[in-house]
Structure 1
């Protein structure tokens, strides 16, 4: 099955059961300062575990950075 993560197609042999599982697999060491949108809708962090994924969903993972 496939998902589009940050505008790139990614094929999964083992389907991530929720948005939370996907974020943990894509950014295992950095979970603070992350915002996630699913199909152009921002999903609050407290809803990641309940948000189920469907084939061909579009996910945008944004990480805050510091600098100037």
Structure 2
């Protein structure tokens, strides 16, 4: 299945949750936020929210600054 992650086309297997997608990309879940099709998906729902063909996923990583 094809999805867009931060505006880049990526290929994944079907039946993939947000949590498993992050694991397959080797992204640690701490300090990030996920939006799918411009809707925030809360961290507590990542394991039950499944990615669909052509979803537009935004991954935002928190940074510190001063």
* TM-score range for the pair, normalised by the shorter chain length: 0.7 to 0.9
Give the secondary structure class of the aligned counterpart of 1:10: strand
- C-alpha contact (below 8 Å) 1:19/1:52 kept by paired residues: yes
TM-score scaled to structure 2, two decimals?
Answer: 0.85
Q: How many residues align?
A: 66
Per-residue deviation, 1:25: 2.0
Deviates more, 1:52-61 or 1:17-26: 17-26
With the length of structure 1 as denominator, give the TM-score of the two structures: 0.83
Which stretches in structure 2 are left out of the alignment for 5+ residues?
Answer: none
CA distance in structure 1 between the aligned counterparts of 2:57 and 2:50, rounded to whole angstroms: 12
Runs of 4+ off more than 6 Å = none
Q: Secondary structure at the match of 2:30?
A: coil
Evaluate the alpha carbon distance shift between residue 48 and residue 9 of structure 1 in structure 2; reply closer, same or farther with a 3 A threshold.
same
Task: Indicate the RMSD between aligned Cα atoms, in angstroms.
Answer: 1.5
Unaligned runs of 5+ in 1: none
Structure 2 matches for 1:13-52, cutoff 5 A?
A: 14-15=13-14, 17-28=16-27, 30-52=28-50
CA contact (8 A) 1:16 1:22 kept: no
